[in-house]
Amino acid sequence: EGVGTREIARDSGCHVPSLYYHFSSKENLYREAFDERWSELIEAVERAALVAEGPQARLRAFIATFYAHLAQDRELLVLLMRDVINAAVAPPRYLSGSGHAQLLALMTRLLSELRGGTVDEHMAFTVMALIFGYGCGLQLAGGETIDAAVREQHLFDTIVRMIGARAP
């Protein structure tokens, strides 16, 4: 918002007609850029979680990769927060919805495996909200000064207690 298509075209090194050839509107350009970055994060998290060995390692890989990705792409963190806020105002514009569902399904599987029994989507959603909120707070409030391993261990321990899993 507040940026014109002429500015976007100029900064990307193309002409306005070329921009409209590929994207019918500024909103579609935004959506495509958002989707690409969001998909990269989801793919990285899924890949890391699914190759790790054992339930604890899979959850730890999910958390570590999620935070590492957002630490490298702080703009994506801001875009995700903005998307959540926009969803509260205009639900059809919830851009991260399908990716969120994908991560929620993965988290449900990971937590169920860690717990050794079924964890419902409500618990998985709560854990996802905790991970996202914790990450937002750390990234935006100087979290880079907190050792990553310490914060991830603290979060992991909290999740284990929340879902009633046996501590590793």
Listed in sequence order, the residues at least 6 apart from 140 whose beta carbon sits closer than 8 Å to its beta carbon are: 77
How many Å apart are CA 18 and CA 9, to the nearest integer? 8
Is residue 63 within 8 A of residue 135, CB to CB? The reply is no
Rg (C-alpha) for the chain, rounded Å, is 18
First CA to last CA distance, the chain: 47
State the pTM of this model.
0.83
CB 38, CB 99: distance < 8 Å: yes
| Mean pLDDT in consecutive groups of 10 residues from the start of the chain, 168 residues | 77 81 80 89 96 95 91 86 84 80 95 94 93 74 64 88 77
